């Protein structure tokens, strides 16, 4: 059978065939250092997981005695609230100071260093710069740069956690709510990351993020985000239970029948199921009802709630395609939505595996390299910084 990713197997969310017998569930799971998408075999006799494309579900053996509790997922890199102290980054701190000292600024050095640091190293270079030079790196960069170039560098300097907090604050500040920003930051997150964002938001702004976000949303969407911000999703280690999947499919079907849609029961499923469970629910729904779950949501919801539910569903079914779509959305049409482009590329660049998958998906769906798309829509040092973040070639800048 031919699939859209040559030589890489079927795409997540691709065709699904219920095999004879029991257990007709398929799903998709990302894994580090693997082509996009990839295949994986579950251990023999392990609890039922969300199978991968091309696999036939095999129930665990009757004598399997596994652990029935599941450890919470650890936070992503840069989101640990009690991690070890950041490393001492003497060379990088000295190079950065040299690049901004005296008349003029060596922008190429700023780009080369700040675009290649991971979250922990970024904290290390900021503390080292302060210790060595008695100066604040963020303030120095701010005073030596301008425009979108400055915004991009400052997003990098904040690191993923503080950048998330900044984006949430900006999304709800003043009149109106930037719904797409809230979706980017708060949807599809690990429980540990969500808890870290809430904690850090309170540290920075001395306010409850949950209260501030809910106060800025309409009643029904407020309830959805309230569920999401409780950080009570099931972890990805949760086994797939056929009875639960079938019950959730029936609940969704019943809630969307007739004239009135019971929005809250669907929100509850989306906010609390693991992504593996959501993938399986989507495939089982299509099997039973002859249309996709995405079509069901699109037909029964509107506005921000529809966008949020579709975002969560696509994040579960194909997160790399979602990343590619979000970047394309920021640059397509007349004018570039620079704030969204910076936010999305900087967020993706912190995770090399996520970046690799996004670039592959972008090329597949939009028939051009991500670097070429960025280069065509941006200019100058701003362009060079984004290209450095995604590993593109930047003249005069060495990117490792």
- Mapping DSSP onto H, E and C, the string for the chain reads CCCCCCCCCCCCCCCCCCCCCCCCCCCCCCCCCCCCCCCCCCCCCCCCCCCCCCCCCCCCCCCCCCCCCCCCCCCCCCCCCCCCCCCCCHHHHHHHHHHHCCCCCCHHHHHHHHCCCCHHHHHHHHHHHHHHHCCCHHHHHHHHCCHHHHHHHHHHHHHHHHHHHHHHHHHHCCCCCCHHHHHHHHCCCCHHHHHHHHHHHHHHHCCCHHHHHHHCCCHHHHHHHHHHHCCCCCCCCCCCCHHHHHHHHHHHHHHCCCCCCCHHHHHHHHHHCCHHHHHHHHHHHHHHHCCCHHHHHHHHCCHHHHHHHHHHHHHHHCHHHHHHHHHHHHHCCCCCCHHHHHHHHHHHHCCHHHHHHHHHHHHHHHCCCHHHHHHHHCCHHHHHHHHHHCCCCCCCCCCC
Task: Give pLDDT tens digits for 167-193.
Answer: 999 999 987 789 999 999 999 999 999
Mean pLDDT of the chain: 84
pLDDT at 9 over 60: no
pLDDT at 37 over 80: no
User: Domains in the chain and their CATH numbers?
Assistant: 84-145 (1.10.220.10), 160-232 (1.10.220.10), 242-317 (1.10.220.10), 320-389 (1.10.220.10)
Which residue shows structure tokens 């029948």? Answer: 257
Query: Which of 13-22, 147-156, 226-235 comes out lowest in average pLDDT?
Result: 13-22
**Which pLDDT value is given to residue 84?**
87
pLDDT cut 90: percent of the chain above it: 74
Candidates 399, 360, 320; CA nearest to 109 is 399
Task: Give pLDDT tens digits for 98-133.
Answer: 999 988 999 999 999 999 999 999 999 999 999 999
Measured distance between the N- and C-terminal CA atoms of the chain, rounded to whole angstroms: 39
pLDDT cut 70: percent of the chain above it: 79
Task: Give pLDDT tens digits for 60-81.
Answer: 333 333 333 455 789 999 999 8
**Which pLDDT value is given to residue 177?**
81
Query: Which of 33-37, 84-88, 98-102, 387-391 comes out lowest in average pLDDT?
Result: 33-37
**Which pLDDT value is given to residue 58?**
34
Q: How many CB atoms lie within 10 A of CB 309?
A: 25
Specify whether the CB–CB gap between 110 and 157 falls below 8 A. Answer: no
**Which pLDDT value is given to residue 393?**
54
Alpha-carbon distance 376 to 239, whole Å? Answer: 45
The pLDDT confidence band at residue 211, using thresholds 50, 70 and 90, is very high
Task: Give pLDDT tens digits for 252-291.
Answer: 999 998 766 688 999 999 999 999 999 999 999 999 999 9
The tokens for 173 are 């500040």
Alpha-carbon distance 231 to 190, whole Å? Answer: 8
**Which pLDDT value is given to residue 19?**
34
Question: 220 in the Ramachandran plot: left (φ > 0), alpha (ψ -120 to 50) or beta?
Answer: alpha
**pLDDT (average), residues 213-242:** 94
Alpha-carbon distance 81 to 133, whole Å? Answer: 27
**Which pLDDT value is given to residue 29?**
38
């Amino acid at each position: 059978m031919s699939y859209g990713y040559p030589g890489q197997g079927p795409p997540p969310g691709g065709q699904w065939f219920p095999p004879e017998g029991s257990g007709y569930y398929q799903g998709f799971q990302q894994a580090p250092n693997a082509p996009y998408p990839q295949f994986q075999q579950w251990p023999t006799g392990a609890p039922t997981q969300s199978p991968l494309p091309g696999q036939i579900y095999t129930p665990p053996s009757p004598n399997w005695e596994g652990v029935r509790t599941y450890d919470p997922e650890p936070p992503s890199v840069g989101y640990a609230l009690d991690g070890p102290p950041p490393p001492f980054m003497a060379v990088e701190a000295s190079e950065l100071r040299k690049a901004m000292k005296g008349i003029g600024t060596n922008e190429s050095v700023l780009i080369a260093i700040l675009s290649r640091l991971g979250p922990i190293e970024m904290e290390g270079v900021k503390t080292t710069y302060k210790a060595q030079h008695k100066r604040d790196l963020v303030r120095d960069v701010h005073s030596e740069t301008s425009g979108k170039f400055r915004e991009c560098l400052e997003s990098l300097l904040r690191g993923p956690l503080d950048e998330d907090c900044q984006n949430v604050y900006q999304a709800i500040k003043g009149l109106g709510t930037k719904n797409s920003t809230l979706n980017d930051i708060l949807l599809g997150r690990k429980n540990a990351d969500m808890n870290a964002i809430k904690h850090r938001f309170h540290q920075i702004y001395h306010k409850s993020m949950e209260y501030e976000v809910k106060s800025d949303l309409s009643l029904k969407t407020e309830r959805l985000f309230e569920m999401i911000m409780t950080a009570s999703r099931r972890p990805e280690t949760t086994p797939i239970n056929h009875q639960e999947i079938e019950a959730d499919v029936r609940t969704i079907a019943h809630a969307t029948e007739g004239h009135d849609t019971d929005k809250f029961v669907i929100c509850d499923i989306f906010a609390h199921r693991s992504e593996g469970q959501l993938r399986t629910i989507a495939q089982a729904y299509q099997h039973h009802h002859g249309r996709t779950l995405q079509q069901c949501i699109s037909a029964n919801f509107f506005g921000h709630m529809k966008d949020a539910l579709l975002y969560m569903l696509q994040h579960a079914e194909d997160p790399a395609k979602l990343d590619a779509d979000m970047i394309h959305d920021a640059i397509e049409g007349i004018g570039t939505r620079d704030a969204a482009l910076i936010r999305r590329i900087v967020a993706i660049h912190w995770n090399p595996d996520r970046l690799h998958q996004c670039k592959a998906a972008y090329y597949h769906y939009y028939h051009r390299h991500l670097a070429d798309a960025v280069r065509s829509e941006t200019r100058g040092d701003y362009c060079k910084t984004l290209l450095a973040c995604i590993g593109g070639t930047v003249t005069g800048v060495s990117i490792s």
